[in-house]
Amino acid sequence: MTGALFPALGAAMGPFADLFVRLLHLIVAPVMFCTLVLGVAGMRDARSVGRIGGRAMLYFEVASTLALALGLLAGLLVRPGSGLDVKVSTLDPHVVAPFLQQAQASSLSGFLLDIIPDSLLGAFAGGDLLQVLLIAVLTGFALAQLGPDGARMCGALRRVQDMVFAIVSMVMRVAPLGAFGAMAVVVGRYGLGVLENFALLILTLYATELVFVLGVLGAVGLACGFSILKLLRLLREELILVLGTSCSESALPGLMAKLERAGVDARVVGLVVPTGYSFNLDGTNLYMTLALLFIAQATNTPLSATDLMMILAVTMVTTRGLPGVPGACFIALAATLTIVPEIPIGGIALLLAVDRILNEGRALVNIIGNAVGAIVIARWEGALDPARFAAALASRGSSGAVAKTVSTGDAP
């Protein structure tokens, strides 16, 4: 209503959305570091870490590629951007500039070098999750070799983890303010009429994600001997939290605790789930190809079959290693459009306006995909307790408090 009745005021509400995104950047790296260090340190065996990590990356690659292909197919069939007729000259290039600069700074050699931070604290200062993952793995190996001293340090790190999770709960209280700012900006700048195409984009994304969850992940679940619907019921509290906050990181503590209580080995959970938050973002991958087609359709940009294959091939690279926070997908979009210049990069500005709503669907699929991935890897490793897992899926009771059980992993 603010954007419709007071367009100038609505267009000025952008800082509220930016506030929420900045607060998320503040806490994501510590969460990932604590959980991954404790997971690696609890394994004691470097070969186990390598084997589980390799199997997890293989699964992540297959699932992510299927999500990209499904998003591309949905965009071609529904064409949510058709009829919007946006003139590229009317889009604000300054909105896209930060994402474009970060995308242009990336290359294969630069990507590999950038994984190594300048210092141990540099990764946390810069918010680069891949660097945080590297430091966490090295720290976990180091603690595992320190014996009793390492065990005591893990205990202290668990206390730090509890503090970080408390900060997460405080940050999530700002989520409604971010939603207000994002929607006020889009309506204030483009008017209420633009919401029709955005509504079609939102419906297309959510319908396609439903197909992915029930179809693709459902088939994976059947192959592993469990029902995806029962898993969704088990994770209902975490899914409601993600839906309310539009952020999959908000449910990270609860997801890990619930998987452990359901019979998934704590060491597998500690390694696979945090890694999946950077490499197994099924919802984000599905959105990527759909968003690219939306921009092309909205700006009346024709695409050939070769262009479509190029989009699919390029996004397979640009979406790998995305940090699981709102805004990261725009960097991947900008990186993709620098390689596929047929689509005007200024069109990214259209998606910024409704990203809060779109991110709810992405976040839901991301957390479901990571839960399924952890179960698959645990079953593959023989680290899944079938009796406990079946009992958890059959249970209809509330999970109760989960934060305290996150830190129950084995010490090195």
According to the model, what pLDDT value does residue 177 have?
A: 62
Domain count, the chain: 1
Would residue 329 count as lying in a domain? Answer: yes
Q: How far is CA 193 from the centre of its chain?
A: 30
Would residue 244 count as lying in a domain? Answer: yes
- Decide if 383 contacts 267 (C-beta within 8 A): yes
Distance CA 349, CA 294 (A): 12
Would residue 264 count as lying in a domain? Answer: yes
Span 245-252, average pLDDT: 70
Would residue 135 count as lying in a domain? Answer: no
Q: Which residue has the higher pLDDT, 290 or 47?
A: 290
According to the model, what pLDDT value does residue 374 have?
A: 94
- In the structure, what pLDDT confidence band is assigned to residue 404 with cuts at 50, 70 and 90? very low
Q: What is the pLDDT of residues 341-374, one digit of tens each?
A: 778 877 777 787 677 678 888 889 999 999 999 9
CATH code of the domain in which 322 resides? 1.10.3860.10
Distance CA 21, CA 48 (A): 36
* Segment of 18-27, 98-107, 282-291 carrying the highest mean pLDDT: 282-291
Residue among 278, 279, 264, 277 nearest 374 (CA): 264
Distance CA 262, CA 218 (A): 18
Does pLDDT of 213 surpass 90?
yes
According to the model, what pLDDT value does residue 352 have?
A: 72
Would residue 145 count as lying in a domain? Answer: no
Q: Which residue has the higher pLDDT, 118 or 381?
A: 381
According to the model, what pLDDT value does residue 132 have?
A: 75
Would residue 191 count as lying in a domain? Answer: yes
Span 209-234, average pLDDT: 95
Would residue 146 count as lying in a domain? Answer: no
Span 188-204, average pLDDT: 71
Residue 181, class by beta-carbon neighbours within 10 Å (0-12 exposed, 13-18 middle, 19+ buried)?
Answer: buried
Amino acid residing at 83? G
According to the model, what pLDDT value does residue 44 have?
A: 59
Residue 5, class by beta-carbon neighbours within 10 Å (0-12 exposed, 13-18 middle, 19+ buried)?
Answer: exposed
- Decide if 315 contacts 289 (C-beta within 8 A): yes
Task: Give the structural domain span for 215.
Answer: 45-113+184-405
Distance CA 396, CA 258 (A): 14
Instruction: Quote the percentage of the chain above a pLDDT of 90.
Output: 23
Does pLDDT of 377 surpass 90?
yes
Least confident of 139-143, 189-193, 219-223, 398-402: 398-402
DSSP letter for each residue of 205-253: HHHHHHHIIIIIIHHHHHHTT--HHHHHHHTHHHHHHHHHHT-GGGGHH
pTM: 0.70
Would residue 323 count as lying in a domain? Answer: yes
